[in-house]
Copies of this chain bind each other. A is one copy, B any other.
């Protein structure tokens, strides 16, 4: 059975003349132990709620997973394996969720799959605590992750695994392909970690020194892992990379290139595998086939679920809704109420506070909202009355506070880990994760934000302290390039709201977007409420906030001031001053450029009429705004300074006076 994987992997890589045979060949025996003896899954239904989750964190070994999916009976015919790494095949270079049936997450960027798995295991544990009832364990599965040296060198492995230990995620089983080889060669000169000791230090259960080529031994190690009641388990498997290849096994040459026809022939011989490329004998197929067992497992679960449904119909309904990622039926009303309340109260608060106000409404109505912060809860204001802190007991159980399960996660100072764990939570289903840090530290988590966008998952990033407006903490903490740079990530909606209403709308839109992550950029400092006729139009991403009212014939604007977030009220002040100078300025608030980009051409022209010069205002780098036809941009193309915020806006000339000066220049008046 293992040799079928080896053969498919080397043949597919050879056909593509690209890819990584070493990991599939080295982990083939481990895969036999896990996939044929433990993994509970149904090839006919890759979306079965209670399936075990399997993550290949060393995603370059994608052919391992494709071989397994093919052999066990997923809808992945041999033709797809022959098209490995070809355009529009179901077998891309790295595993991609929603492209290939049975792939749970997109991996490749090392360490992140492991963190995703931590998120999945957390979601499972929380859902079980929330939904299971005596006699009805409808949520009860494991999360398995394969990983290599690279994953364990990456810093994110530290963040995610420390949390898995603190959270006592006993149903997480991580299997380490300890082959001592990375791309640069034998790892000894740059990787001397005692991995077992390191994971024990995190509070993990460790099964060390497992022969990764002895299926019985691996099987026993997994058995031991499944007994852990209060700790996640690491299984350290000693393996030989490229196992089976006479000349490449155990070397970095096996890692990332095709073996070549000659070596493949030698490998076939050495393995005693005398079948043609992409040919697997029927008995091997039969041994791998997991369709019957999978159908049976799901059928049993369905029966259990039906009993649960009979006993707890409301819970069952809620479970289904949440696993499908659907919002409550009354979501529109909840949102309208939140937006309306903000509009009515018209408060002057920081937009981070506005976010908390919106969150109070949404978290009260949406039990699936699972918040958190990277050790900045009191600054990010991600917590609400409905979201007690998540805590675990000594036995690994989820604790309750006044009968409520925790729904706000203290992620610690682990931005990247938080973001990738949130991706895992979203991938598992059942929760809408959101988490906070300072905007500048979106740098730390940036690739996980990108991955959420690539995977099209609803993850909401709450980035507060979004500009020089944070003041004294200085340039290390002041974002200048981050709003612009996040906007460059395809598929991510970035919101920089200007007041409480815009913030409530931003939250609404972030929740509605089932297939899109969002980032909310929020101020530390107070922002005045901006009177507006209609809050609905905010959903367009940009809208006319204020027409020139006191000057000009027909109120026709001579200049459009486009601004975002904390600078919109400056644009309004400038508008007034310009009015006194008989210059008619329209103020356009642009809370989300990507959302605006998706509007109709006619709406766009309505907001930004052709031929009227535009001035953009944002307390950040100016490069981005030329896209919107700005004739001038008021911003700052340098790092900030440490000082009280009002001094900084003055020093950097991000003031109504300067907007007026720039607008006059643009208008030529």
A287–chain B nearest beta-carbon distance, Å: 30
**Of the candidates B195, B491, B642, which one forms a contact with A94 in the assembled complex, judged by CB atoms under 8 Å apart?**
B642
Contact B157 A87 (CB under 8 A): no
Does A265 reach chain B (CB closer than 8 Å)? no
Report A54-89 residues with CB < 8 Å from chain B CB.
59-60, 85-89
Given A153-B413, A490-B637, verify A201-B198 contact (CB < 8 Å).
yes
Does A21 reach chain B (CB closer than 8 Å)? no
Does A106 reach chain B (CB closer than 8 Å)? yes
Contacting residues, chain B, for A643 (C-beta < 8 A): 85-88
- A106 (CB) vs chain B CBs: closest residue: B476
Contact B155 A154 (CB under 8 A): yes
Does A19 reach chain B (CB closer than 8 Å)? yes
Contacting residues, chain B, for A444 (C-beta < 8 A): 109, 154, 416, 446-447
Does A182 reach chain B (CB closer than 8 Å)? yes
Contact B414 A154 (CB under 8 A): yes
A354-380 near B? 1/0 per residue, CB < 8 Å: 000000000000000000010111110
Does A661 reach chain B (CB closer than 8 Å)? no
Contact A648 B87 (CB under 8 A): yes
A2–chain B nearest beta-carbon distance, Å: 25
A80–chain B nearest beta-carbon distance, Å: 12
Contacting residues, chain B, for A629 (C-beta < 8 A): 626
Q: How far is the CA of A47 from the CA of B155 in the complex (A)?
A: 32
Contact A484 B488 (CB under 8 A): yes
Contact B162 A412 (CB under 8 A): no
Contact A150 B375 (CB under 8 A): yes
Contacting residues, chain B, for A262 (C-beta < 8 A): none
**Of the candidates B108, B378, B440, B624, which one forms a contact with A109 in the assembled complex, judged by CB atoms under 8 Å apart?**
B440
Q: How far is the CA of A106 from the CA of B19 in the complex (A)?
A: 41
**Binding stretch for chain B, among A186-194, A218-226, A297-305, A569-577:** A186-194
- A376 (CB) vs chain B CBs: closest residue: B183
- A19 (CB) vs chain B CBs: closest residue: B472
Contacting residues, chain B, for A638 (C-beta < 8 A): 490-491
Does A417 reach chain B (CB closer than 8 Å)? yes
**Of the candidates B93, B413, B624, which one forms a contact with A473 in the assembled complex, judged by CB atoms under 8 Å apart?**
B93
- A151 (CB) vs chain B CBs: closest residue: B413
A411–chain B nearest beta-carbon distance, Å: 7
* Most chain B C-beta atoms within 10 Å of own C-beta, residue among A18, A107, A111, A444: A444
Contacting residues, chain B, for A187 (C-beta < 8 A): 412
A89–chain B nearest beta-carbon distance, Å: 8
Contact A488 B623 (CB under 8 A): yes
Contacting residues, chain B, for A93 (C-beta < 8 A): 472-474, 476-477, 642
Does A250 reach chain B (CB closer than 8 Å)? no
- A159 (CB) vs chain B CBs: closest residue: B155
Contact A624 B623 (CB under 8 A): yes
Contacting residues, chain B, for A184 (C-beta < 8 A): 373, 375-378, 410, 412
**Of the candidates B190, B194, B450, which one forms a contact with A163 in the assembled complex, judged by CB atoms under 8 Å apart?**
B190
Contacting residues, chain B, for A474 (C-beta < 8 A): 85, 92-94, 96, 108
Contact B490 A189 (CB under 8 A): no
Q: How far is the CA of A444 from the CA of B155 in the complex (A)?
A: 9
Contact B153 A155 (CB under 8 A): no
Contacting residues, chain B, for A440 (C-beta < 8 A): 109, 447
Q: How far is the CA of A182 from the CA of B198 in the complex (A)?
A: 22
Does A110 reach chain B (CB closer than 8 Å)? yes
Does A166 reach chain B (CB closer than 8 Å)? yes
Q: How far is the CA of A195 from the CA of B201 in the complex (A)?
A: 7
Given A93-B473, A162-B191, A183-B376, verify A627-B621 contact (CB < 8 Å).
no
Does A641 reach chain B (CB closer than 8 Å)? yes
Q: How far is the CA of A621 from the CA of B627 in the complex (A)?
A: 12
Q: How far is the CA of A441 from the CA of B624 in the complex (A)?
A: 22
Contacting residues, chain B, for A19 (C-beta < 8 A): 472
- A448 (CB) vs chain B CBs: closest residue: B443
Does A286 reach chain B (CB closer than 8 Å)? no
Does A664 reach chain B (CB closer than 8 Å)? no
Q: How far is the CA of A451 from the CA of B481 in the complex (A)?
A: 13
Contact B154 A166 (CB under 8 A): no
Does A158 reach chain B (CB closer than 8 Å)? yes
Contacting residues, chain B, for A417 (C-beta < 8 A): 155
Contact B192 A166 (CB under 8 A): yes
Q: How far is the CA of A110 from the CA of B441 in the complex (A)?
A: 10
Given A19-B472, A488-B621, verify A183-B416 contact (CB < 8 Å).
no
Does A389 reach chain B (CB closer than 8 Å)? yes
**Of the candidates B375, B443, B472, which one forms a contact with A183 in the assembled complex, judged by CB atoms under 8 Å apart?**
B375
Does A16 reach chain B (CB closer than 8 Å)? yes
A328–chain B nearest beta-carbon distance, Å: 30
A selection of 14 A-B contacts at a CB cut-off of 8 Å is A87-B642, A88-B643, A93-B476, A106-B476, A109-B440, A109-B444, A150-B413, A193-B201, A197-B198, A443-B446, A443-B447, A453-B639, A481-B485, A623-B627
Known: A85-B644, A166-B192. 16 other contacts (CB 8 A): A88-B643, A96-B476, A155-B158, A155-B414, A182-B412, A183-B379, A184-B375, A184-B410, A185-B410, A189-B391, A190-B411, A194-B200, A197-B201, A443-B446, A450-B481, A623-B627
Which 3 residue pairs of A and B lie closest in terms of their CB atoms, listed nearest first?
A155-B155, A92-B642, A108-B476
